[in-house]
Structure 1
Amino acid sequence: MEGSGLYRLLVDSVLDYAIFALDPTGHILSWNAGAQRLKGYRPEEIIGKHFTIFYPPEDVARGKTTIELEIATRDGRVEDEGWRVRKDGSRFWANVVITALRDSDGTLVGFAKVTRDLTERRSAEEALRLSEERFRTLVQGVKDYAIFMLDPQGRVASWNEGAKRIKGYEAGEIIGRHFSAFYPAADVAAGKLKMELDVAIREGKYEEEGWRVRKDGSCFWANVLITALRDSGGRLVGFAKVTRDLTERKAAQEREVADARRIAEIETASRTKSEFLAAMSHELRTPINATLGYADLLEMEIAGPVTEQQQEYLKRIRGSQQHLLRIVNDLLNYSRIEAGQVEYEITPVSLHTAVEAVLAMVEPLALAKGIVLKHGPCPEGIMARADLGKTEQIVLNLLSNAVKFTPAGGRVTAGCGTVDGTPCVTVSDTGPGIPPEHQHSIFQPFVQLGRSLTSGHEGTGLGLAISRDLARAMGGEITLRSEPGEGATFTVTLPPDR
């Protein structure tokens, strides 16, 4: 086979390229298999037609085909990428090379036209371009992070909105400057910046938290990530730097640490106070009990007769001792509660039984003061789940307080029942009442309203504090309802025995 025949066979067999010839006026002279596959025409359908048939109407209208042939004639060839049209009217993105063909005398005899379909490549490139554009737009629009590029020497190469907001620089003020502008002078002097880039180069990234500097000189606590960027050949082309302002978070963490420290100090102080109160209470009870014993011996006249006047003195001594012992017991109980040393034996408790027992204890005190102690409604079937001894202690504290603050001739009432299905004990009096602004403070330790040097209201002010703590420890609560001049009503609620 002659060389020309072999060449024709080669061209005709190519499927990936449309290869065909045009006469000097642009009419088609030949058609290979690749042209048929790419453009959709069979040879008999297209040979003899002008090659403008492959161009969009808008390109034909502006003379694009004429210009291409003129350039090829003048320069020997023309290359272009653009939209072309298939037989079915669909468009594809093509790379086109038109080469002028001349005979041995230099006379133009036509053109060789080679077309390749680049639609898939262009789609991929366009998708990549759009992706990069979206990413660039996204990065530029991010305001919570400073995201920017550094060149291999550490100079700023890009700048987003977050970087402007966090660091204070406009893009034109910072691009081209070294990123040392963001670091405290001590870090720069210590070679910290070179260390960060060296780690990023060696390990791929560098991350830390530390102080950074804004344009105005103020410092902020930042999380910083530096990532080394390399091209396909592995050559370092720069760094991506992401910075986040964590100043508020760091301040919050420091506040949490300070708060935890203060809480620990308060707990330690409270524990120390409770331990002190417990120790003092134990130390005080010993001499008090001893003096009570000696008073008993004197009353028994073991050491000799006791006069009527001396009997009166012993009575006063005993009264003072009993009062002091009550104070010591209150302090001891409070210190035990504060220290969490009180144990509870939770069982079904009859509130009727508890109220009956305590009323009997308080009755002598009420009679001595000329106060009517009234037994209010208290059905026997009201059962709570609580500690019987602690329940009686609460009721005793409330009744004793009521008797203490109710004037002679007044009335104190104790009863039990339910509130919305919850068992409760109520203690009410006809005393002076408690002003609204003081109703919360009366449950605080060592608070006793109306107390003065001449009031005659003795005590530690711990009774209500102890009672509320005991009630809460058993899953209950103590509430108060009072109006000045109209007395007060305390209600103890406890979990029901279901």
Structure 2
Amino acid sequence: MPRTTSEGDGSGREAAAERARLVAELATERERLRSVVLHTPAPLALTEGPDHRFTLVNEAYKRISGGGRDVTGLTPRTAFPELAGSGIHEVFDQVYATGEPWVGPETLVRFDRDGTGVMDTWFDLRFEPVRNAEGRVVGVLNLAVEVTEQVGARRAVEELLARSERARAEAEAARAALAASEVQFRMLADAIPTLAWTAQADGYIDWYNARWYEYTGTTPEQMEGWGWQSVHDPAALPDVIARWQASIATGAVFEMTFPLRGADGQFRPFLTRVVPLRDASGRVVRWVGTNADVTSEREARAAAERAQAAAEAANRAKGEFLAVMSHELRTPLNAIGGYAELLELGIRGPITDAQRADLARIQASQKHLLGLINQVLNYTRVDAGAVRYDLARVPLADALVGAEALVLPQARARGLTLALGECPPGLVARADPDKLQQVLLNLLTNAVKFTETGGELHVTCAEREAQVAIAVADTGVGIAAEKLASIFEPFVQVDQGLTRQHEGVGLGLAISRELARGMGGDLTAESTPGVGSTFTLTLPRA
């Protein structure tokens, strides 16, 4: 049955009212949803249209987007120009065009969030397409949860784990290197001829090298710990133990020589040295000891002492022989001189001129031989330490003038120039005046002997801190470098061809040096063959 007009109007009004109610509820729901979005703690923003203009931005999003800055009505490219090239702007385009959501966990975003400059921030990003009733994409919902602190904490943990792993690997490598080093150490210790061992901090010996077992004929089981005492001399063992315990208590280096019994049952002396190994805090953690056989050294030292004693005895015998020989020779030489004088006086009858000349030659030879013998006697007294020194203050200028007066006639006779340099005023030596004159005369006489006619002699003196120095220089034949060191040795004649022209026994310089040293000084020489020599006498300054 068809409806009446009044019924139709009523149904239309009801439908309109229902639509109005539904629209109102939808508006209310949208407002409620908008309020939830605006006040949710998660940063949310809604963009609409292909240019992605922000139409809904909650407070949390405003805070992360730039210190509360409201980007509503702006596009991402306008609001965040510093993101150009990062790919974020392109994500908006991609989601809007494809309708597919995009998720980017722990995405690094570099932007100016508070106006102080671009900074690194990490976000968990999510981009969702927003569709209308027909299902067409009309916008993009952007969720951005900051995870900078979480990323930093995780990376810190990862870095700690990485460092721990590196430390573990380094420790493993160090342990491997230590093991290899210990193997090398033991191989080296086994190869050396010296006995070697290591001990714990308390002195408990836990390792010996192969040389120890070879020498002692023992086994590791016999020697472990304190078993080493069995190869020690019982007489020396208490002292060894006491000193070893003292080193353990104080950390001091142990050094001692004592006997060790070999596999043959014989004891040999060993120089033992034990040094502590300390940790970074200075605490002793181990000991390393070595035992060096010093039998050969002791035998060599004893042999050297015996040789020295024999040489000293031979030297004494030589001195005694020279002294006796000299005394025995002086008697007939004095007799020769006496008889020559008697003959010269005519006591035995008249003599001819030829005989008188012969007697003169006999007397000259007798005096020369007597002088040589006196030199030998002087040397034996000096060498035996029997010379007495009367030390006094001696002005050098006076000593040089006195020596010059005695030598000047000889120098002139050979056509030499003797130049005496001036001494610094008041320069005084502490010396024996007679011994000083003897040395100076010997140096000047030698210079005259070995300088050719027309040559020069120069004598100078100078002060050297606590000493004075007198230099006697000549322009004579000189001395070869390889022979210069031996000229002060007794009975040494450097050049036989030269010394035969001026006979002597080679004792003058030896006596002069011993006299110089006996007065607290020394005598040295410098020389160049063909140029000349310089002898320098040094004495203590008074």
TM-score by length of structure 2 reads 0.50
Query: Equivalences for 1:279-298 in 2 at 5 Å?
Result: 279-298=324-343
**What's the CA shift for 1:220?**
6.1
CA change 1:175–1:302 in 2 (3 A) is: closer
Q: Answer yes or no: is 1:313 the counterpart of 2:363.
A: no
Asked if 2 retains the 8 angstrom alpha-carbon contact of 1:451 and 1:457, the reply is: no
Query: Equivalences for 1:154-193 in 2 at 5 Å?
Result: 160-162=206-208, 164-168=210-214, 174=219
Q: Answer yes or no: is 1:144 the counterpart of 2:196.
A: yes
Q: Distance in 2 between matches of 1:454 and 1:466?
A: 17
Which runs of 5 or more residues in structure 1 are unaligned?
Answer: 1-136, 149-157, 183-191, 201-207, 225-243
Asked if 2 retains the 8 angstrom alpha-carbon contact of 1:412 and 1:430, the reply is: yes
Q: Answer yes or no: is 1:209 the counterpart of 2:254.
A: no
Q: Which of 267, 271, 283 in structure 1 is aligned with 2:316?
A: 271
Q: Distance in 1 between matches of 2:349 and 2:495?
A: 44
SS at match of 2:487: helix
CA change 1:221–1:389 in 2 (3 A) is: closer
Per-residue CA deviation, residues 401-457 of structure 1 (Å, 9 max, x unaligned), is: 111111123222334333446322221211111222222111111112221398413
SS at match of 2:525: strand
Matching residue of 1:426: 471
Structure ranking higher on relative contact order (CA contacts 8 Å, 6+ apart): 1
Asked if 1 retains the 8 angstrom alpha-carbon contact of 2:475 and 2:533, the reply is: yes
Q: Answer yes or no: is 1:456 the counterpart of 2:508.
A: no
Query: Equivalences for 1:235-254 in 2 at 5 Å?
Result: 248-254=293-299
Q: Distance in 1 between matches of 2:205 and 2:395?
A: 77
CA change 1:340–1:421 in 2 (3 A) is: closer
TM-score by length of structure 1 reads 0.54
Question: Aligned pairs, how many?
Answer: 311
Asked if 2 retains the 8 angstrom alpha-carbon contact of 1:222 and 1:245, the reply is: no
Q: Which of 300, 316, 323 in structure 1 is aligned with 2:345?
A: 300
Asked if 1 retains the 8 angstrom alpha-carbon contact of 2:271 and 2:293, the reply is: no
Per-residue CA deviation, residues 87-129 of structure 1 (Å, 9 max, x unaligned), is: xxxxxxxxxxxxxxxxxxxxxxxxxxxxxxxxxxxxxxxxxxx
CA change 1:159–1:178 in 2 (3 A) is: closer
**What's the CA shift for 1:493?**
0.9
Matching residue of 1:440: 485
Q: Distance in 1 between matches of 2:317 and 2:350?
A: 48
Q: Counterpart amino acid of 1:367?
A: R
SS at match of 1:418: strand
Per-residue CA deviation, residues 127-174 of structure 1 (Å, 9 max, x unaligned), is: xxxxxxxxxx9xx999734889xxxxxxxxx984225342249x9x94
Q: Which of 380, 384, 392 in structure 2 is aligned with 1:347?
A: 392
Asked if 1 retains the 8 angstrom alpha-carbon contact of 2:271 and 2:294, the reply is: no
CA change 1:174–1:289 in 2 (3 A) is: same
Q: Counterpart amino acid of 2:358?
A: Y
Q: Counterpart amino acid of 2:357?
A: E
Asked if 2 retains the 8 angstrom alpha-carbon contact of 1:385 and 1:495, the reply is: yes
Q: Distance in 1 between matches of 2:307 and 2:259?
A: 27
Asked if 1 retains the 8 angstrom alpha-carbon contact of 2:468 and 2:538, the reply is: yes
| Percent of aligned pairs sharing the same letter | 42
Q: Could you list the runs of 4 or more consecutive aligned residues of structure 1 that deviate by over 4 angstroms after TM superposition?
A: 140-143, 145-148, 175-179, 217-224, 244-247
Q: CA RMSD for the aligned pairs?
A: 4.2
**What's the CA shift for 1:340?**
1.0
Q: Distance in 2 between matches of 1:322 and 1:334?
A: 18
CA change 1:379–1:305 in 2 (3 A) is: farther
Asked if 1 retains the 8 angstrom alpha-carbon contact of 2:197 and 2:205, the reply is: no
CA change 1:320–1:144 in 2 (3 A) is: same
**What's the CA shift for 1:271?**
1.1
CA change 1:303–1:401 in 2 (3 A) is: same
Per-residue CA deviation, residues 326-350 of structure 1 (Å, 9 max, x unaligned), is: 2111111111111111111111112
Per-residue CA deviation, residues 242-282 of structure 1 (Å, 9 max, x unaligned), is: xx875533332222222221111111111111111111111
Which runs of 5 or more residues in structure 2 are unaligned?
Answer: 1-181, 190-194, 239-257, 273-288
